[in-house]
Amino acid sequence: MKFAVSYSPPFHGVDPDTVVGYARHAEQCGFEAIYLPEHIVLHPGARLGTFELPPDLPYLDPLDCLSFIAAATSRILLGTAVLLLPYHHPVTLAKRLATVDVLSKGRMRLLTVGLGALPGEAAAVGVDYASRGRRADEAIDVLRLLWAGDERGVGFHGEFFDFDGLCSFPKPYRASTLPIHIGGSSRAAARRAALRGDGFYPGGMLTPDERLAQWEIAGRPQEYTRPAALDITAERVAELAAQGVTRLVVSSTSLDDLTAFASRFV
């Protein structure tokens, strides 16, 4: 089992010293990776299920923040959970992700993408909410195509993206592509993980039977990430490992809590 931490700017804060201190502490404790979430914009009345999101929540751009973290650390892997893929153009995103990977010497390796659940956020960036799943599928294909392409250029002709002869350099650090993990708590997300994902990171409040069904739909992925509570027991970690979970992600505003967790598991 691998262990990572998440940093949520609305919860942990946006002070740069706090961001760097958290990441460095996690690295010193031996955690494998640090994850950041994304919201591009919010608006009054935005809801996730029954929970209304305060419109002034300060979400940092995750890739810019991870680049900042990379400059202040040396080992910890960089992840998103989740990057709202349909709201990014894959041609520019391929460049941004490769840039972070190159400058961090190969640490942008836990990219986790999702669809987003706020229709107003989709509308704000000019994306049709109903078709965002198909758009995300094409975006994944475009990212991999651009990373794998050479100086002769590559072409793509889809429903949302259409181009010929494009060359995207630099490539990911010493690799022909970057892993793309799929986040989400729906069966559609599990199917996307099976068809296009290098890993699966389901969230949401699901029953054990629902989680098992999604893991089966996802094709029993080799990389299976789950959030976990800081007070998780060793017995529960062993149970999750037996179920195929390969990575647990924890979070706390207390560095002492992270130290105590690391002393038990990392």
The encoded tokens of residue 17 equal 């010293």
DSSP-derived letter for residue 78 is: E
Residues 167-211: tens digit of each pLDDT? 999 999 999 999 999 999 999 999 999 999 999 999 888 888 999
The answer to whether residues 41 and 51 touch, using CB atoms and an 8 Å cutoff, is no
The answer to whether residues 225 and 197 touch, using CB atoms and an 8 Å cutoff, is no
Q: What is the pTM of this model?
A: 0.97
Return the percentage of the chain with pLDDT > 90, whole number. 95
pLDDT, residue 7, reads 98
How many Å from the N-terminal Cα to the C-terminal Cα in the chain? 9
What letter represents residue 46's amino acid? A
pLDDT, residue 206, reads 87
